[in-house]
Amino acid sequence: MKKWQCVVCGLIYDEAEGWPEDGIEPGTAWNDVPEDWLCPDCGVGKEDFEMIEID
């Protein structure tokens, strides 16, 4: 499971947790997140997220 971070606001999408508020189940891989999903905090799209390594 990987984590992806919004470059604009720093919000983290954790594949393990998904984003249930938007109907994205825990365990949803980044590739399977809908292409038009928007950062819940700042509204940018998936292309403005970058994969990060977090312990």
Partner 1 sequence: MTTASERNPIVIVGSGLAGYSLVRELRKHDADAPILLVTADDGTSYSKPMLSNGFGKGKDANGLAQATQYSMAEQFDLHLMPHTWVTALNPQAHQVLLGDHWQSYSKLVLAWGAEVVPLHLAGSGSGSVYSINDLNDYRAFRAALTGAECVAIMGAGLIGCEFANDLLLGGYQVEVIAPSATVMPTLMPEQAARALQNELEALGVTFHLNTQVDRIEQVPAGADGGVTLALTNGRHLQADVVISAVGLRPRTELAQQAGLAVNRGIVVNRALETSAPDVYALGDCAEVDGQLLLYVMPLMASARALAKTLSGERSEVLYPAMPVMIKTPCCPAAVNPPPVGAEGHWQVEQDGNHVKALFNNPEGKLLGFALTGRFTMEKQALSRQLPALHNAAS
Residue 30 binds partner 1 (CB under 8 A): no
Query: Cα(46)–Cα(55) distance, rounded to whole angstroms?
Result: 22
- Asked if residues 30 and 2 have their Cβ atoms less than 8 Å apart, the reply is yes
The least distance separating partner 1 from the CB of residue 5, rounded to whole angstroms, comes to: 10
Q: Which is nearer to partner 1, 26 or 41 (CB)?
A: 41
Q: With 0-12 CB in 10 A as exposed, 13-18 as middle and 19+ as buried, what is 39?
A: buried
For partner 1 (CB under 8 A), the number of binding residues is 19
Task: By CB under 8 A, name the binding residues for partner 1.
Answer: 7-10, 21-23, 34, 36-38, 40-45, 47-48
